[in-house]
C-alpha cells in the first residue's frame, strides 16, 4: 500500500498518511517518502507520537545524523540521546526556564529565518521535528520555498547573484538577537564558513536560493553591500506567497529539506507556556560551494 500525499500549499508542504513511523519503514515506502520530500520540501506526518529511539531510527534512513552541540553552555541535558536536539523552553528538570536563562535567548534565534547548520562547513540536508508539547497559542513554524523564490527572481537578479558565496556564522545570527555568551570552545569549533547562495537542489534538479540568518556578508564584496543584498533576498524569499505556516498538534513529525527552504519559529509566551520539540538533523554530504562547483575544495 502506498503513502497518501496531500499538498498543503502551491509551493511547499504536504501531509503524509498511510505510514506508521513507529515501525521500521520498508525501502519501497521510504523511496515514496523521499520522492515526496524532494518534490514538496516539507512533509507533515500527523499523530505519530514518536519516542526518541523511533525518531532516530527513521531519521537515519536519510543519512548520518548530527550530534547535538552545547551552544548555550548547559552541561546537564533533559534528553539523553546525543542525536536528539532539545528544542524546548524547559530546563534540565523539565520546568519552564526562567526569564533570565541564557538558553531561552539563544533558542529565540530560531525565530529568525534560517536553514539548519548552514554555519557548519557541511550543513544539514534535512531536519525532523517531533511535537511533544505545544503552547495553546503561538509557537507555529513557518517554511519558505527557496526554489519557487528563485524562479520568481528577475533575470537581472539571477545573473547578479549567480556564483556568489556568502559567509555564514552562528555568531552572526545570535549576535543579531543580542546573545553574547559564546564560550571560546564554540567560537574556535565553529569558524565562519562559505556557502553558495544559488545552488541546484539535488533532489529535484531545480535551482534554489540558499540563505539564512547565519549569512553575514558576500565574500569579496564590501560587507555592508553584501549584507544588504542578503537582507533583500531573504525579504523577497519569505513573502507570504512562498510561505506555509504549520500549526502544530502533539504527535506531529515534520521533516524539511534544508537545502531548498528556510524556516522560523513563531513567537509564543515562552516564560509561561511549555513547548517541547525534539529535533534530529541529517547531515549533508559536502559543503554547498564544493557541491556546486564539483567538489573543488573551499577554505
Question: Binding residues for Mn ion, per CB under 5 A?
Answer: 116
**Euclidean distance between CA atoms 184 and 86, whole angstroms:** 22
SS3 127: strand
Q: Of the two residues 129 and 165, which places its CB atom closer to ligand OGA in the complex?
A: 129
Distances (CA, A) of 70 to 32, 75, 185: 35, 7, 10
Using CB distances below 5 to 8 A depending on partner kind, what does residue 265 bind out of ligand OGA, Mn ion, none? ligand OGA
The cell 556546486 sits on which residue? Answer: 292
| DSSP codes, 196-254 | ESEEE-TTT--EEE---TTEEEETTS-HHHHHHHHHHHHHHHTSGGGEEEEPP-TT-EE
Q: Of the two residues 134 and 161, which places its CB atom closer to ligand OGA in the complex?
A: 134
Does residue 279 bind ligand OGA (CB under 6 A)? yes
Q: Of the two residues 168 and 218, which places its CB atom closer to ligand OGA in the complex?
A: 168
Q: How far is the CB of 6 from Mn ion (least distance, A)?
A: 24
- Binding ligand OGA by CB under 6 A: which of 59, 118, 127, 280? 127
Residue with the shortest CB distance to Mn ion:
116
Q: How far is the CB of 191 from ligand OGA (least distance, A)?
A: 21
Which residues have CB under 8 Å from 102's CB, separation 6+? 72, 73, 179, 181
Query: What pairs with residue 127 in β-bridges?
Result: 256, 281
Phi and psi for 187 in degrees, rounded to 5?
-60, -40
Query: What pairs with residue 14 in β-bridges?
Result: 7, 43
Q: Of the two residues 97 and 129, which places its CB atom closer to ligand OGA in the complex?
A: 129
CB 214 within 8 A of CB 168: yes
Q: How far is the CB of 277 from ligand OGA (least distance, A)?
A: 5
- Binding ligand OGA by CB under 6 A: which of 21, 229, 277, 282? 277
Using CB distances below 5 to 8 A depending on partner kind, what does residue 97 bind out of Mn ion, ligand OGA, none? none
Q: How far is the CB of 279 from Mn ion (least distance, A)?
A: 8
Which residues inside 11-40 make contact with ligand OGA, applying CB under 6 A? none
Q: How far is the CB of 93 from Mn ion (least distance, A)?
A: 25
**Euclidean distance between CA atoms 185 and 189, whole angstroms:** 6
Using CB distances below 5 to 8 A depending on partner kind, what does residue 120 bind out of ligand OGA, Mn ion, none? none
Residues contributing to the site for ligand OGA (CB under 6 A): 87, 110, 116, 127, 129, 141, 263, 265, 277, 279
Amino acid at each position: 500500500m502506498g503513502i497518501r500525499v496531500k499538498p498543503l500549499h502551491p509551493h511547499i508542504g504536504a501531509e503524509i498518511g498511510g505510514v506508521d513511523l513507529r515501525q521500521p519503514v520498508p525501502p519501497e515506502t521510504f523511496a515514496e517518502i523521499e520522492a515526496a520530500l524532494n518534490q514538496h520540501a516539507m512533509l507533515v506526518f500527523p499523530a505519530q507520537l514518536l519516542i526518541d529511539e523511533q525518531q532516530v531510527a527513521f531519521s537515519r534512513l536519510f543519512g548520518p545524523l548530527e550530534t547535538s552541540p552545547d551552544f548555550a553552555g548547559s552541561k546537564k541535558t533533559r534528553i539523553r540521546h546525543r542525536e536528539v536536539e532539545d528544542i524546548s523552553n524547559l530546563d534540565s528538570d523539565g520546568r519552564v526556564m526562567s526569564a533570565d536563562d541564557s538558553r531561552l535567548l539563544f533558542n529565540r534565534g530560531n525565530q529568525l529565518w534560517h536553514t539548519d547548520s548552514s554555519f557548519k562547513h557541511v550543513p544539514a540536508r534535512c531536519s525532523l521535528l517531533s511535537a511533544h508539547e505545544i503552547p495553546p497559542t503561538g509557537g507555529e513554524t513557518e517554511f519558505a520555498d527557496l526554489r519557487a523564490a528563485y524562479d520568481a527572481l528577475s533575470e537581472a537578479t539571477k545573473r547578479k547573484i549567480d556564483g556568489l558565496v556568502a559567509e555564514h556564522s552562528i555568531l552572526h545570527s545570535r549576535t543579531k538577537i543580542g546573545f553574547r555568551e559564546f564560550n571560546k570552545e564554540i567560537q574556535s569549533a565553529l569558524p565562519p564558513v562559505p556557502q553558495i547562495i544559488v545552488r541546484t537542489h539535488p533532489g529535484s534538479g531545480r535551482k534554489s536560493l540558499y540563505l539564512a540568518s547565519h549569512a553575514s556578508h558576500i565574500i569579496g564584496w564590501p560587507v555592508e553591500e553584501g549584507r544588504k543584498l542578503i537582507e533583500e533576498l531573504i525579504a523577497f524569499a519569505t513573502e507570504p506567497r512562498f510561505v506555509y505556516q504549520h500549526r502544530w498538534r502533539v504527535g506531529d513529525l515534520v521533516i524539511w529539506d534544508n537545502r531548498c527552504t528556510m524556516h522560523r519559529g513563531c513567537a509564543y509566551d515562552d516564560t509561561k507556556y511549555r513547548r517541547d520539540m525534539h529535533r534530529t538533523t541529517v547531515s549533508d554530504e559536502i559543503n554547498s560551494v564544493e557541491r556546486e562547483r564539483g567538489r573543488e575544495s573551499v577554505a
